[in-house]
Amino acid sequence: MSTSTSLPVSAVALDVHPLLSERWSTRAFDPDHVLEAETAGRLLEAARWSPSASNTQPWRFAVALRGTPEHDVLFGTLMGFNQAWAGNASALVLVAAERVTPEGKTLRWADLDAGQAVAHLTVQAAAEGLVVHTLGGIEVDAIRAAYEIPDGVEPLVVVAVGRQGDLETLDETVRARELTRARRPLSELLLPLRGASA
């Protein structure tokens, strides 16, 4: 377990790999860090090898490195609160899911599989010494206007990727969200059989 005072980490109930237990969805990114193209490629490769139902691989991505026109466009689709901090991330990654194939088949599991791909990207990023924060606050219509998104494909989230920055650079409201990390106990997450005794 990390004991760094710059990145608080809560204890977990059971031992799991540090890449998972020490993962942190930071909002404090190092504005000087540059994400190399090769590193970005490894993150996407990790996502590409994620499992998917019937090997349908419904995830779709668009990568925007900070300082590029592509980044300006994708950053502009973030909702206001997210724009207050996500601009310092080294890259933004748009994640979409093919919910309906060109043949008209509905992929009920597409969002889950895209989420698994993001999880693989997140773990690879942790192995590279990077941090990731997934943002749901996006303007979907603006994304559709900016990107050539086929019918049946739905934009889901934007993932901010970079190196951990200084928490003190965040404004007070944003920084307060960095200082707690809590998870519900497993007892609240397990679904009982209908009619089973408590």
Q: Note whether 178 and 167 are within 8 A (CB).
A: yes
Q: What's the number of CA atoms in the CB half-sphere (13 Å) around residue 67?
A: 7
Tens digits of residue pLDDT in 128-182: 999 999 999 999 999 999 999 999 999 999 999 999 988 877 777 777 677 777 7
Instruction: Answer yes or no: is pLDDT of 8 > 60.
Output: no
Question: Would you state the pLDDT for residue 186?
Answer: 82
The interaxial angle of helices 110-127 and 37-48, nearest 10 deg, is 140
> According to the model, what pLDDT value does residue 197 have?
66
The answer, yes or no, to whether residue 4 has pLDDT greater than 60, is no
Average pLDDT rounded to a whole number, residues 65-71? 97
pTM: 0.87
| Amino acid at site 37 | A
Cα gap 97→109, rounded to integer Å? 10
Calpha distance 158→58 (Å, rounded): 16
CA 112/CA 115 separation, integer angstroms: 5
Q: How confident is the model at residue 113 (pLDDT cuts 50, 70, 90)?
A: very high
